Amino acid sequence: MEHNLITSFTEFKDYKNIDREMLMRILEDVFRHTLIKKFGTDENFDIIVNIDKGDLEIWRTLTIVEDGKLTDPNKEIEYSEAIKLEPDFEVGEQVYQEIKLEDFGRREILTIRQNLISKIQEYEKDNVYRKYKDKVGEIITGEVYQIWKKEILVLDDEGIELTLPKSEQIPHDHYRKGDTIRAVVSNVELRNNQPIIILSRTSPLFLEKLIEQEVPEVYDGLITIKKIVRVPGERAKVAVESYDDRIDPVGACVGMKGSRIHGIVRELRNENIDVINYTSNPSLYIQRALSPAKVSSIVIDEENKRAEVYMKPDQVSLAIGKGGYNIKLAGKLTGYEIDVYRDTDIEYEDVDLQEFSDEIDQWIIETFKSIGLDTAKSVLNESVEELIRRTDLEEETILEVRKILQAEFE
């Protein structure tokens, strides 16, 4: 029994994520608790732990008293008993008595072991919690260990379990067991005394930290990221500012021929990233945020935080972008509700199909053009049945195209 208990000490040293001093402290605390329970106090006990050898010694200090004057057998020993240990002892001197593990009894030994395991696990949980609480906002690299429907279990290099929920994954993310994954630590909490570490790849913070890693000027503080907005896996807009006139913040973030931004785009599953110069001028800020569309004029309502943006007809689809992402993100970035209007004095009768290339696949546009339908109204004027017959496109595709075209005129 003693051997098994001592062996467990060395097991904790070898396999648990715990340092030597802390293990010694936990061992001592567990045994002191047992001593108090058994003897009523631990004041006159010394506990010596040797982790390397797996040794543990417990010594009790007893004061020698005259025979018949024993008041506390836990702290005192009669003279006649003391001289049996060593004949030279005198009254008033101290005797050191070793307490063997077997003196505790089988049940107490099992309780000690259980308390030891419990304390070690508690310490480890607390250690993991504190470690990752300090890492919130940092990018970590882990290995995919298990994949479930609602989340992925990731292990870091120390074998600590991390969670990447489905909601925090980029839509185009696909992983297999053993894959390497990068994500930002977004939240750390305790549930039922168990540390839960939540990772995210959709957080704007993930993109910010990726930029920090790729762009030294951002890491050094020469360029400041003012705001990031994202539709994960689709598009992102990043507003940057430099306090040094010699540094072009956009150029530094993008890099020569896009060298710096390309790595980030690949990590984010080909998410389009627009980097723009931040400005406190609302009109100019909105104009830059709507890039690549070119704006003719802007009317701003500061009170209601709305902006009426006028542009040439061929720029409208660029401003809106595929799925409306460009204008939505521009609004979030600037903090204004943006309404786009065609800048023309002539009533706009029709729109070239090519202007919908951000929302309709090019091959579908080419299919309509091949039968002589190259404008929005020319498609809308045909019945669904006729369009199916002439193009061989599926009804679902035809209905989706008509919906996009009708929305343009509405």
Q: What local confidence, expressed as pLDDT, does residue 168 receive?
A: 96
CA distance 200 to 317: 32
Q: Is the pLDDT of residue 52 over 90?
A: no
pLDDT band for position 283 (50/70/90)? very high
* Mean pLDDT value of segment 374-397: 88
| Domain spans, the chain | 2-131, 136-200, 221-278, 353-409
Q: Quick one: pLDDT band at residue 53, thresholds 50, 70, 90?
A: low
pLDDT in tens, 154-163: 999 888 999 9
Whether 409 shows a pLDDT value over 60: the answer reads yes
Query: How confident is the model at residue 104, as a pLDDT?
Result: 77
- The per-residue pLDDT for range 185-210, each reduced to its tens digit, is 999 998 888 899 999 999 999 999 99
Q: How far apart are CA 315 and CA 293, in angstroms?
A: 5
Residue 346 has a pLDDT of 46
Confidence of residue 391 (pLDDT cuts 50, 70, 90): confident
pLDDT tens for 336-359 read 999 988 876 545 567 888 888 878
pLDDT (average), residues 239-251: 92
2-131 CATH:
3.30.1480.10
CATH superfamily of 136-200: Nucleic acid-binding proteins (2.40.50.140)
Annotation: CATH topology of 221-278? GMP Synthetase; Chain A, domain 3 (3.30.300)
For residues 329-337, give the mean pLDDT. 95
Q: Which tokens is 79 given?
A: 């003279």
Band of pLDDT at residue 26, cut at 50, 70 and 90? confident
Q: Has residue 385 got a pLDDT over 60?
A: yes
Evaluate if residue 11 carries a pLDDT over 70: no
Report pLDDT for 116: 80
pLDDT of residue 278: 95
Q: Report whether pLDDT(1) > 50.
A: no
